[in-house]
């Protein structure tokens, strides 16, 4: 059973969360100056200003053990189950956000596409694991924070601009994790690396973010982005 589950987790469809206490704490402890650059897109600037958190994610016990093939299968199964709960729950958030009348056509198109991807992935995971619905899964603390906090992102602005920012960390982080992993084809976790290697985040996010860049409070966007990465750190730390 666990061998089957090890092959299930594909590319990261959703693990983007917002928690005000988390991301404000991160910035209070930061020792660097943040400055935007006309030579950097918002997409790149947010990522470059958050490398300290990215590094901490890579040093979590879960990922280090996956990298050296000592991770217990039960812990990987736990990650898969938590993913099922999260992905199924976030579909409703995206559908509700996309239905808002104040959302512009291009952002609505983006959100509808993301909602469909989340929904397809949730159905795939439920069916493959012979689970009737995600309500039978007990979420851990990190996933509870993900699900509840995601709603806060959606409510930050009626035009849902910050929801686009909130979706970016997962989409960019997981291919980065895959590239970092040294797992080979004989590893039980090679499917994780292989399925997450392709990074489509620039194509999906960069132009959309730039087209609305003048409408963002970039400091707030950075706080949110770093908060999302902090929640990634919390997710991997609790597995």
What angle in degrees, to the nearest 10, is found between the helix axes of 161-180 and 141-155? Answer: 140
Instruction: Specify the pLDDT at position 160.
Output: 94
Judge whether 226 lies within some domain: yes
What's the domain range around 132?
A: 14-29+38-237
Q: Is the pLDDT of residue 86 over 60?
A: yes
Q: pLDDT grade, residue 148 (50/70/90)? A: confident
Report whether 153 contacts 18 (CB < 8 A). yes
Judge whether 3 lies within some domain: no
Judge whether 152 lies within some domain: yes
Mean pLDDT over residues 220-237, rounded? 94
**pTM to 2 decimal places:** 0.83
Number of domains making up the chain = 1
Judge whether 4 lies within some domain: no
Q: pLDDT grade, residue 128 (50/70/90)? A: confident
Token pair 């890579």 is at which residue? 58
Report whether 67 contacts 181 (CB < 8 A). yes
Q: Write the pLDDT tens digit of every residue in 23-33.
A: 344 433 444 44
Can you give the CATH number for the domain in which 212 is found?
1.20.910.10
- SS3 of residue 189 by DSSP: coil
Q: Which of 13-17, 67-71, 212-216 has the lowest mean pLDDT?
A: 13-17
Instruction: Specify the pLDDT at position 3.
Output: 38
- SS3 of residue 81 by DSSP: helix
For residue 181, what are the contacts with CB-CB under 8 A and spacing of at least 6? Answer: 63, 66, 67, 189, 192, 193
Token pair 């960390």 is at which residue? 169
Please indicate whether residue 56 or residue 195 has the higher confidence score (pLDDT). 56
CA 71 to chain centre: 22
Instruction: Specify the pLDDT at position 6.
Output: 41
Q: Is the pLDDT of residue 235 over 70?
A: yes
Judge whether 179 lies within some domain: yes
Q: Write the pLDDT tens digit of every residue in 35-58.
A: 556 689 999 999 999 999 999 999
Q: Is the pLDDT of residue 17 over 60?
A: no
Q: Is the pLDDT of residue 136 over 50?
A: yes
Q: Write the pLDDT tens digit of every residue in 91-113.
A: 888 999 999 999 999 999 999 99
Judge whether 6 lies within some domain: no
Instruction: Specify the pLDDT at position 25.
Output: 41
Judge whether 9 lies within some domain: no
Judge whether 8 lies within some domain: no
């Amino acid at each position: 059973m666990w061998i089957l589950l090890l092959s299930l987790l594909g590319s990261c469809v959703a693990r983007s969360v917002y928690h005000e206490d988390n991301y404000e704490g991160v910035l209070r402890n930061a020792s660097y100056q943040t400055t935007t650059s006309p030579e950097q897109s918002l997409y790149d600037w947010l990522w470059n200003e958050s490398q300290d958190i990215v590094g901490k994610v890579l040093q979590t016990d879960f990922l280090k053990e996956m990298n050296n093939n000592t991770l217990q299968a039960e812990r990987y199964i736990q990650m898969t189950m938590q993913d099922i709960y999260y992905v199924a729950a976030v579909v409703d958030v995206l559908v509700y956000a996309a239905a808002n009348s104040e959302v512009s056509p291009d952002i609505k198109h983006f959100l509808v596409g993301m909602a469909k991807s989340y929904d397809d992935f949730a159905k795939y995971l439920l069916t493959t694991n012979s689970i009737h619905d995600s309500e039978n899964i007990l979420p851990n603390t990190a996933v509870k924070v993900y699900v509840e906090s995601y709603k806060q992102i959606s409510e930050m602005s009626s035009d849902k601009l910050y929801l686009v920012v909130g979706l970016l960390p997962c989409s960019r982080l997981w291919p980065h994790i895959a590239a970092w992993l040294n797992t080979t084809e004989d590893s039980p976790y090679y499917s994780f690396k292989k399925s997450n290697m392709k990074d489509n985040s620039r194509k999906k996010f960069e132009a959309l973010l730039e087209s609305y860049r003048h409408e963002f409070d970039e400091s707030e966007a950075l706080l949110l982005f770093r908060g999302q990465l902090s929640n990634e750190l919390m997710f991997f730390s609790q597995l």
